[in-house]
Amino acid sequence: MRSEENNVSKAAAELLRNGSENVLREQIAPFWLKLRDDIYGGYIGKVDINLSYHRHADKGTILHSRILWFFSELAMLTKDRRYADAADHAFHFLTEKCFDKRYGGVFWSVTYDGKPSDTVKHTYAQAFALYALSSYYALTENADAMHKAQSLFTLIETKCRDNKGYLECFDEQWKPLINDKLSENNVIAYRTMNTLLHIFEAYANLYRYKPDEITEKAMRYILDIYSDRIFSAEKQRLNVFFDEEYNNLIDLQSYGHDIEASWLIDDGCKLLGDDMLISKISDINSILCESVYSRAYCGSSLLNECENGKNDTDRIWWVQAEAVVGFLNQWKKTNNSKYLTSAAEIWKYIQKNIVDKRPGGEWFWGIRSDGEPMTGCDIVSEWKCPYHSGRMCFEILRRIKNDT
């Protein structure tokens, strides 16, 4: 019986590893390489559901940060000069067009030819620019990239932080605004789990490639907020939207964010080398993973979210990608084969349903409960990017070695 279980686990691991290499090489990287804009710089900001390129669409800073991160990490993984060139191209556009040279930080978006469009300064966008620049520095040792990454860290800590945590949204001159960009589900949040999660991810990436005590202190501060304010032991989930005092604004479990946090926070915490802290955070994240597994894993895929006790049964591209990594992470922690099996089943679901098999396609935004693609959602947008899908592949390759 044990031998049979081991064979099943080995087959699932091989499926994930071999498939991720193929997906990176044949699906994701070629699609995003084609979006390079050699006339105006950067990458085309919108491809609609009909695979039409909108060459004059605004270019999102989060999109370009994620493209820069993706190609930087892919170039380091493969040693392929094409991807390093793609990262160079993204770096020049991000730093030359998306940064505000007067007041600091990055804009939310610029026009197709690189002029400021939406000049909102959002903490989430600052974090992703920092995240990307850290990886580009690791690829190139470009001193300007690290200088800009560290300046964004300082900016977040001085402009975006108060005595209780992190603020969200500001105007061009860093005056606070209503946080409508990172609020959903008919609430306007003063603080969000999502922004805090990705500030931590950005700081962890900076610490990974350029460790120092100041970054470590900020990471520990965020982990305290995460464990004491964001995680709900009673509900076995992360709360999502908060007022200024961290009062929860809505009965909502975001399955995608919970499973994403379960591995992402684990990974960042390990960088600090503090065994007691690692154990504490790992226990929280194991609760999150099992909660998502028991509540949202069905039909070989993951539900989107649960609001007021009602599940949203759409299957969203990024939620599936994060579920693969989250369950794989939990398998490595526990050696419980159910998590590896579920990761492999979701992988197969992605390949069958989420991957857009039309010529020139990439991944659909999501699949409706009737099994059809969601037709109102772009293939490329300020949010639709190679970050979740590409990162899923990177993490599979890092976690499953050739000899598994």
> Residue 364 and residue 321: Cα distance in Å, rounded?
12
Other Cβ atoms within 10 Å of 262 Cβ, number: 29
What's the rounded mean pLDDT across residues 252-262?
98
Q: Is the pLDDT of residue 258 over 80?
A: yes
Other Cβ atoms within 10 Å of 120 Cβ, number: 18
Q: Is the pLDDT of residue 403 over 50?
A: no
Work out the mean pLDDT of the chain and round it to a whole number: 96
> Residue 44 and residue 387: Cα distance in Å, rounded?
16
What's the rounded mean pLDDT across residues 321-347?
97
pLDDT in tens, 78-105: 999 999 999 999 999 999 999 999 999 9
Phi, psi of 311 (to 5 degrees): -80, 140
CA quadruple 87, 222, 325, 6: dihedral positive or negative? positive
> Residue 3 and residue 14: Cα distance in Å, rounded?
16
pLDDT in tens, 44-83: 999 999 999 999 999 999 999 999 999 999 999 999 999 9
Collapsed DSSP state (helix, strand, coil) of residue 131? helix
In sequence order, what are the residues at sequence separation of 6 or more whose Cβ sits closer than 8 angstroms to the Cβ of residue 338?
293
- In eight-state DSSP terms, residue 378 is -
pLDDT at 369: 86
CATH class of the domain whose range is 1-20+251-404:
mainly alpha
Q: Is the pLDDT of residue 3 over 60?
A: no
What's 133-158 look like in SS3? Answer: HHHHHHHHCCHHHHHHHHHHHHHHHH
Residue 46 buriedness (CB in 10 A; 0-12 / 13-18 / 19+)? buried
Q: Is the pLDDT of residue 124 over 50?
A: yes
Q: Bridge partners of 231?
A: 238
Please say whether the beta carbons of 43 and 90 come within 8 A.
yes
pLDDT in tens, 139-195: 999 999 999 999 999 999 999 999 999 999 999 999 999 999 999 999 999 999 999
CA quadruple 241, 247, 251, 255: dihedral positive or negative? positive
CA 232 centroid distance within chain: 22
- In eight-state DSSP terms, residue 341 is H
What are the extents of the domains in the chain? 1-20+251-404
> Residue 363 and residue 318: Cα distance in Å, rounded?
10
Q: Is the pLDDT of residue 247 over 90?
A: yes
Closest CA to 129 of 115, 103, 147: 147
- pTM more than 0.95: yes
Pair of tokens at residue 9:
């686990």
CA dihedral 203, 20, 399, 213 (to 10 degrees): -10
CA 63 centroid distance within chain: 11
Please say whether the beta carbons of 396 and 402 come within 8 A.
no
Q: For a pLDDT cut of 70, what percent of the chain falls above it? A: 97
Which own/partner contact pairs does 355-363 have at CB distance under 8 Å and 24+ positions apart? 355/23, 355/27, 358/51, 360/31, 360/34, 360/51, 361/31, 361/51, 362/27, 362/28, 362/31, 362/32, 363/27, 363/317, 363/389
> Residue 147 and residue 186: Cα distance in Å, rounded?
39
Closest CA to 332 of 227, 404, 255, 233: 404
- In eight-state DSSP terms, residue 60 is E
pLDDT at 356: 96
Other Cβ atoms within 10 Å of 224 Cβ, number: 12
pLDDT at 10: 86
Angle between the 387-399 and 317-334 helix axes, to the nearest 10 degrees?
20
What's the rounded mean pLDDT across residues 357-363?
95
What's the rounded mean pLDDT across residues 299-326?
97
pLDDT at 1: 47
pLDDT at 8: 58
Pair of tokens at residue 306:
């649960």
Q: Is the pLDDT of residue 9 over 90?
A: no
Q: What is the band of 401 on the pLDDT scale with cuts at 50, 70, 90? A: confident
Q: What is the band of 5 on the pLDDT scale with cuts at 50, 70, 90? A: low
Which own/partner contact pairs does 337-341 have at CB distance under 8 Å and 24+ positions apart? 337/5, 337/8, 337/9, 337/12, 338/293, 339/289, 339/293, 340/9, 340/12, 340/13, 341/8, 341/9, 341/12
pLDDT at 335: 94
